[in-house]
Amino acid sequence: MNKIIKLVPFDDFQLYVEYSDGLNGKINFSKMLKREEYKSLNNLEEFKKVRIDNKTKDIIWECGVTMCKNATRNMLILMNEVKSLKLPINL
């Protein structure tokens, strides 16, 4: 199983995620932050308090928000496919 090895939060509410197999990319959270379960991340300081959970290896924030490592991986794979096919989709 590929593991998340690096997380880098950015000031524009994007999160760079890198996996042990080299899969990587930025996930834009700006649209997700409108959903109730992510509202606590609207504060940039809270958004930057991100880390990899030692037990589950999921992405977690101090405020309690969790992002599944597998869902994140699938998002990056989809984003890379969209780019490679040059589809006019903004993810």
Q: What is the residue type of 23?
A: L
pLDDT category of residue 87 using cuts at 50, 70 and 90: confident
Query: Is residue 31 scored above 70 in pLDDT?
Result: yes
Report H helices in 7-87. Answer: 44-47, 69-85
Query: By residue range, what is the domain housing residue 23?
Result: 4-85
For residue 19, is it within any domain?
Answer: yes
For residue 36, is it within any domain?
Answer: yes
pLDDT tens for each residue of 46-74: 999 999 999 999 999 999 999 999 999 99
Say what the pTM is.
0.89
For residue 32, is it within any domain?
Answer: yes
> In a 3-state reduction of DSSP, which class is residue 39?
helix
For residue 90, is it within any domain?
Answer: no
Range 67-85 average pLDDT: 91
Which CATH number covers residue 24? 3.30.2020.10
For residue 20, is it within any domain?
Answer: yes
Structural domain total, the chain: 1
For residue 22, is it within any domain?
Answer: yes
For residue 30, is it within any domain?
Answer: yes
Mean per-residue pLDDT over the chain, rounded: 92
